[in-house]
Amino acid sequence: MKTQEAPETLEGWYVQHDVYTINWSQWRALEPAQRALISAEATAWGTAQAAPEQGSSAFFSMLGQKGDLLVVHFRPTLEALNGVELSLRQTGLFAYMQPVYSYLSVIELGLYEVIGAVQRKLATSGLEAGSTAYEEAYQQELEHQKGAMQARLYPVMPAGRYLCFYPMDKKRGETQNWYMLSMEERRQLMRGHGMIGRKYAGKVTQIISGSVGLDDWEWGVSLFADDPLVFKKLIYEMRFDAASALYALFGAFYVGIRFQPSDLGSWLSGTLPA
DSSP characters over the chain? -PPPPPPPEEEEEEEEEEEEEE-HHHHHHS-HHHHHHHHHHHHHHHHHHHS-SS-EEEEEEEPSSS-SEEEEEEESSHHHHHHHHHHHHTSGGGGGEEEEEEEEEEEEEE-HHHHHHHHHHHHTTTPPTTSHHHHHHHHHHHHHHHHTTHHHHSPPPP--SEEEEEEEEE-B-SS-BGGGS-HHHHHHHHHHHHHHHHTTTTTEEEEEEE-TTTSSSSEEEEEEESSTHHHHHHHHHHHTSHHHHTTEEE---EEEEEE-GGGHHHHHTT----
Active-site entry in 14, 20, 166, 254: 166
Q: How far apart are CA 79 and CA 102, in angstroms?
A: 16
Question: Is 166 among the residues known to form the active site?
Answer: yes
Q: How far apart are CA 218 and CA 75, in angstroms?
A: 19
Which residues does 131 contact at the CB level (< 8 Å), separation at least 6? none
* Active site residues per annotation: 166
